[in-house]
Structure 1
Amino acid sequence: MREINQTKVFVQYRDVMKPYEPVMGRKYTITHSDKTAELFVFVAQNYAEDQITSMRDEVIVAWEPYKIGIALIGSVIVDGNGVIGDAYIRNKIFYNEMPKALQALRQADRFLFDKEPNLDKTPVLIHFISSNPIYDKTYNFGAIGIYK
């Protein structure tokens, strides 16, 4: 896995979110700039809809109850709802770039993970939303701790 440039990861805490708490209710919106290669992570009670563009290339993730614990569960939009671009290409890009997005999340919220090291064991499940069953899948990207 190629490491991201940590100086190009920016975080913004919104609402009642603080670097250390709370865990539950914490939602992440991860976006990027194609021009600067910067990654932006918004941590809030709600997804940062003001940061979502017509390209629909954001990753959204939240802490949710899962089996006997919690998981980071999120999604990306591969096609549909006015999304521009070929589903095959978008799916491939999302899949290949997901480790970068997860590294950005882990880096941006590192103070939370430092305070609660057991969170690094949390599984990450990302639903690739598509009207085509070939691409409409949920992938397990492993524990978030592998992205630190």
Structure 2
Amino acid sequence: MSQFKPEKLSVEFRDGVTPSNPILTRHCTLTHSDITAELFLTIGLSFAYDKTNEMRDEVRGEWVSKESSILFYVYLAVDNDTNPIQAAIRDYIFRKELPLALEAIRYGDRKLFEVYPKLDNCHIIVHFIAKCPNLNKVEDYGTFSKYNTLN
């Protein structure tokens, strides 16, 4: 896994979202540049599909209220209509880089966590979306406290 470098992260807040509000309608879209290794976090009331590309290798996340709990759902397009070998490679890369992506989201949205510290204890539920049944999974990745490494 690569090491998160805050200086490589750019954050954009879209209309209707501030660094500390809202929570439940807040959507995060994390994209990157393969060339510069820069990360781009867009936080808005919906996912920033205008920031994504045909590779669909972004990390999308949203805060969800479920059964009196707040969870952070992450969506990853694993197979992207590719062959099974490519899908397995994408799955491997997503799994390898996901901790860095979660750390970037936690850092980029740190003001939200300062205002609502209990969000650090919310579980991160990752949806690996794939047509291939053995790659189509939902997994608990722990809480954001695990990805708050720059304190």
TM-score by length of 2: 0.92
Q: Give the CA deviation at 1:139.
A: 1.4
Q: Give the CA deviation at 1:146.
A: 1.1
Q: Distance in 2 between matches of 1:48 and 1:17?
A: 13
Residues 84-95 of structure 1 mapped to structure 2, 5 A cutoff:
86-95=86-95
Q: Distance in 1 between matches of 2:66 and 2:100?
A: 24
Contact 1:9 1:107 in 2 (8 A): no
Q: Which moved more, 1:66-75 or 1:42-51?
A: 66-75
Contact 1:79 1:129 in 2 (8 A): yes
- Percent identity among equivalent residues? 37
TM-score by length of 1: 0.93
Which residue in the other structure is 2:106 paired with? 106
Q: For the structure 1 residues 124 and 51, does the alpha-carbon distance in structure 2 shift closer, same or farther, using more than 3 Å as the test?
A: same
Q: Give the CA deviation at 1:24.
A: 1.1
Q: Distance in 1 between matches of 2:87 and 2:49?
A: 22
Which blocks of at least 5 consecutive residues in structure 2 are unaligned? none
Which blocks of at least 5 consecutive residues in structure 1 are unaligned? none
Which residue in the other structure is 2:121 paired with? 121
Q: Distance in 2 between matches of 1:75 and 1:117?
A: 23
Q: Distance in 2 between matches of 1:33 and 1:58?
A: 10
4+ runs deviating over 4 angstroms: none
Residues 1-148 of structure 1 mapped to structure 2, 5 A cutoff:
3-81=3-81, 86-148=86-148
Q: For the structure 1 residues 69 and 105, does the alpha-carbon distance in structure 2 shift closer, same or farther, using more than 3 Å as the test?
A: same
Q: Distance in 2 between matches of 1:100 and 1:10?
A: 15
Q: Distance in 2 between matches of 1:9 and 1:42?
A: 11
Letter in 2 for 1:74: V
Q: Distance in 2 between matches of 1:57 and 1:112?
A: 25
Letter in 2 for 1:57: D
Contact 1:78 1:135 in 2 (8 A): yes
